Structure 1
């Protein structure tokens, strides 16, 4: 059975993020990101080297995903980013555009992960448990 474009793009984005953030395999990660990668983020420097440099500066940075959606050349990933430089995880929605099998553009919406005492709605922002209750 042949995978749809959305399935291929989802697999590509998840493998790329795991390779960079969790495996720290920068040489392999270069295969996933375009040389002309465009970064639309308040926290991440411009371009592929800006992103890779940020990850290098946070050697214990980790990426997890909870939900993923895709349509055409766009993939949305509900993400959690953790590292020892921050006491609170960042919860995000990453939007990635794919072109010719490469990540070419990225947008994100990021916020600190709420604890149960900080949550106005009483539900966790990521997964089925609050931080510290996992």
Structure 2
């Protein structure tokens, strides 16, 4: 069985997300996601194929950016932004993944539309140090 460190797991998540969401390299992405991948998101069909098919159906402008990533045990939480989805607002996400044998085997997420300055009750941006501008 493949044993990975917390730092390796964080790197694997970032590499996996970049490969799938930014580069759209589905063949290379298969190395990161287990064939038995379990999906808990209400927005994504089940399994690795469900995730890949969802991404195939999104605009080519799709982009993932990571802000923060933490790891504990077999879990990684990545705080990031999905932009260019064709939706009016980018999604800010906390993606939680579980590892087994060096591959992503399970996923949960918490998604929220990125608020503009006018929409933000806190007066603070949700991602980075600037608010998005929507036209």
**Match of 1:20, SS?**
helix
**Match of 1:91, SS?**
strand
Quote the residue 1:95 is aligned against.
Answer: 96
Matched, 1:7 2:43: no
Quote the residue 1:40 is aligned against.
Answer: 40
Q: How do 1:54-133 and structure 2 match up within 5 A?
A: 54-58=54-58, 59-132=60-133
**Match of 2:19, SS?**
helix
With the length of structure 1 as denominator, give the TM-score of the two structures: 0.93
Quote the residue 2:27 is aligned against.
Answer: 27
How far apart, in 1, do the equivalents of 2:23 and 2:120 lie? 32
With the length of structure 2 as denominator, give the TM-score of the two structures: 0.93
Superposed CA RMSD: 1.3
Identify unmatched segments of 5+ residues in structure 2.
none
How far apart, in 2, do the equivalents of 1:84 and 1:75 lie? 24
C-alpha displacement of 1:85: 1.6
Greater than 6 Å deviation, 4+ residue runs: none
Total equivalences in the alignment? 130
